[in-house]
Amino acid sequence: MKYIVVLGDGMADWPLEQLGGKTPLQAADKPHIDALAKSAEVGLCRTVPAGFKPGSDVANLSVMGYDPHTCYTGRSPLEAVSIGIDLKDTDVTLRCNLVTLSDEEKYEDKTMIDYSAGEISTAEARELVEFLKKHFDSERCRLYAGVSYRHCLVVDHGQTGHELTPPHDISGRPVKTFLPKGPMGEFYLDMMKSSARLLQDHPVNRARIAAGKRPANSVWFWGEGTKPALENFSEKFGKRGGVISAVDLVKGIGILAGMRIIEVPGATGNYDTNFAGKADAALEALLGGLDFVYIHMEAPDECGHQGDVAHKIYSIEQIDQKVVARLCEGLYAAGERFRMLICPDHPTPIAVRTHVSDPVPYLLYDSGAALNGAAGGATAAAYDEDSAKQTGVFIENGFTLMKKLFAE
């Protein structure tokens, strides 16, 4: 038996007037996933426990089978692990975005134009981070370059308890009321202001502006945390697992869980990612000896944050055609029985362009037997938010989904 999670980050949504009252999941042409729904268990699941913010960190931990109440220490430490940072118990980490702010002279008067600096390339971003390191790195703190706009700050013997706002939550809004607050709030704000001065005329930004692209004209700190520890996935579930993702956060969870990180050329973390390559890499890993692969696709979430309806639908259709269909075809051809879980980690509704903690629709398919409802549950005519709700199946604790996947 082989096991797969196909996770479309932020894939769930709310009905949109421009789609005739449909959600992107309902509007997308996804014949392969909808066909699975007809003989799968379909329902709703709460992946973000009460009291937690609806971040991809908490939600992906849940889907991967870990209870956030017992293991969550913040988002940025998970990303730091993926970058290769050897954290000490006394370290505090922060996510560091390269962002685009408006041009007002006073930092407090600026507006958050783009939390991703126009999806800046990794090569450009690394040049900027290396430049900033010369000004910011000290015995107290160090910057580390990640992928695209996603980077990390590590503070030695830092403090926690800050009010730090994810930049994707405030797109198009003035930053004044969302600046860092807490024990080291002024320290972080001073770095952010300094970065704006330093980056303003950097050659990378001059070239981006000349090319009609958005400049990365400030850093933005958020997602603080401390060194985490996760139970080994193989010991916890008795399965040898791997992770496929372009996102440091998800890779970091996999590394901490002792899973194999499977790199895929052309994996970008957006709608231009190598969808088929992810499916092919998963098949190769499964047929080569792994029991389980967690395939994470960031594209729907990025499109939700950008308010990009067309590309969110496109991303869902690519997941259907180039991931789910390809996986099923390959495993059937190899004569492998398999169980597949399809779900988002959280919704990222176009209307609000940020995460919400609503329960998400899940689909659990067994290639060897129709699941006519181990949980009283039911099949559905299609896979979407309404169809999942109508089955009446509801899982309160998202971290139990993994045990459900492995139950035979």
Say which residue, 373 or 88, is predicted with more confidence: 88
pLDDT of residue 372: 44
For 180-199, what is each residue's pLDDT tens digit?
999 999 999 999 999 999 99
Q: How much is the average pLDDT of 254-262?
A: 97
Q: What is the token pair recorded at 42?
A: 């379909």
Pairing, β 91-101 against β 150-156: antiparallel
| 370 — pLDDT class (breaks 50, 70, 90) | low
User: Residues 169, 244, 29, CA angle at the centre, nearest 5°?
Assistant: 70
Q: What is the token pair recorded at 358?
A: 């609503």
Q: Which amino acid is at 4?
A: I
Angle in degrees, 0-180, between the axes of helices 122-136 and 185-199, rounded to the nearest 10 = 120
Share of the chain above pLDDT 90, in %: 95
Residue 373 has pLDDT above 50, yes or no: no
Residue 235 has pLDDT above 80, yes or no: yes
Q: Taking the domains of the chain in order of start, what are their residue ranges?
A: 2-72+229-406, 82-226
Task: State whether residue 153 is helix, strand or coil.
Answer: strand
- Alpha-helix residue ranges (DSSP H) falling in 240-333: 248-256, 275-287, 299-306, 309-318, 325-333
Residue 312 has pLDDT above 60, yes or no: yes
Residue 250 has pLDDT above 60, yes or no: yes
For 54-88, what is each residue's pLDDT tens digit?
999 999 999 999 999 999 999 999 999 999 999 99
Task: Report yes or no: 147 and 248 within 8 Å, Cβ to Cβ.
Answer: yes
pLDDT of residue 104: 97
For 18-29, what is each residue's pLDDT tens digit?
999 999 999 999
pLDDT of residue 378: 80
d(CA 313, CA 274): 16
pLDDT of residue 375: 36
In this structure, which long-range contacts are made by residues 328-334, counting pairs with CB atoms below 8 Å and at least 24 apart in sequence? 328/32, 328/36, 328/367, 330/279, 330/280, 330/283, 330/287, 331/2, 331/283, 331/286, 331/367, 332/367, 334/283, 334/287
Q: Is 161 exposed, middle or buried (0-12, 13-18, 19+ CB in 10 A)?
A: exposed
What is the end-to-end Cα distance of the chain in Å, rounded?
9
For 148-179, what is each residue's pLDDT tens digit?
999 999 999 999 999 999 999 999 999 999 99
Concatenated DSSP letters for 111-134?
BEEETTTTT--HHHHHHHHHHHHH
Cα-Cα-Cα-Cα dihedral sign, residues 103, 105, 106, 107: positive
Q: What is the token pair recorded at 246?
A: 């372009």
d(CA 307, CA 16): 11
d(CA 286, CA 302): 28
The pTM of the full predicted model, rounded to 2 decimals, is: 0.88
For 334-354, what is each residue's pLDDT tens digit?
999 999 999 999 999 999 999
Q: 243 φ, ψ to 5°?
A: -125, 135
Residue 332 has pLDDT above 90, yes or no: yes
User: Residues 208, 168, 133, CA angle at the centre, nearest 5°?
Assistant: 55
Task: State whether residue 157 is helix, strand or coil.
Answer: coil
pLDDT of residue 369: 77
d(CA 154, CA 142): 5
Of 142, 98, 141, 143, give the one whose Cα is nearest residue 122.
98
Residue 367 has pLDDT above 80, yes or no: yes
Task: Report yes or no: 3 and 327 within 8 Å, Cβ to Cβ.
Answer: no
Tell me if the domain spanning 2-72+229-406 has CATH number 3.40.720.10: yes
Residue 377 has pLDDT above 90, yes or no: no
Whole-number average pLDDT of the chain: 95
